[in-house]
Amino acid sequence: MTTSSCLRSKDELDSVRPATWAKVFLLRACFMRHEAVDRLVWFDSDVVIANYTLSMETILAQTATQSCALVLGSDEKELGCPFNTGLMLLRRSNTTDRVLTALAKLYDDPRARHAINPEQTALTRMYKSYMWVRRALCVVPRRPLLQSFMKFEEQHAGDFSLHFTLSPRKQLDEFAATVRRQAGRVPAPSTQGGWSASPPADGESV
């Protein structure tokens, strides 16, 4: 399933600004329009899968319990958000729908809509204010099973994904090019941060 299949038209979310809010409405639409889908995984466009040997089933088995509506990786608490929404695992449930619906309503609050990291900040506001949200969200160590932040140079071999948040676009492009060059090779130490990409399988794209 692709996210485009969740929309009635490609222009459906064009009016959503800032664009980071679109993920909230898109995830709701995917659950509503694909009733057979039990779980969804969201990747921001600056998140790159680095370890193709880890399946989502393995990650879910090690991070989620039946009570988890959403699984998120930890963020730096001093930044004001205990988790990062760049990569999210979501399970179909009434609680998940309740979280996404309540979060979507905060889009109508101008202060929430235009905050720094707006949808993440709004979800943090809910998390800190309501016990039922804290019970629904499972916040786990972000690496190695969810995402490593390139801005902290914390990446290690075997980490599932790399998040290039606040990184220059050139760095992301160079990494993607490296993955393509290494396709079919065994991961090897990198000259940057002691890390090298696990290649995608033949025919897969990055």
- Quick check: is 205 in a domain? no
- Quick check: is 201 in a domain? no
Question: Looking at residue 138, which CATH number applies to its domain?
Answer: 3.90.550.10
Find the domain containing 47 and state its range.
Answer: 3-182
- Quick check: is 12 in a domain? yes
- Quick check: is 143 in a domain? yes
pLDDT in tens, the chain (206 residues): 555 667 666 667 778 888 889 999 999 999 998 989 898 999 988 888 888 888 878 888 887 777 789 999 888 765 668 899 999 999 999 999 999 999 999 999 998 898 888 999 999 999 999 999 999 999 988 888 888 887 777 778 888 888 887 667 777 777 777 766 765 544 444 434 333 344 444 444 33
- Quick check: is 193 in a domain? no
- Quick check: is 31 in a domain? yes
Q: What does pTM read for this prediction?
A: 0.77
- Quick check: is 200 in a domain? no
In the chain, the number of structural domains is 1
- Quick check: is 189 in a domain? no
| Cβ neighbours for 196, distance < 8 A, ≥ 6 positions apart | 157, 178, 182, 187, 188, 189, 190
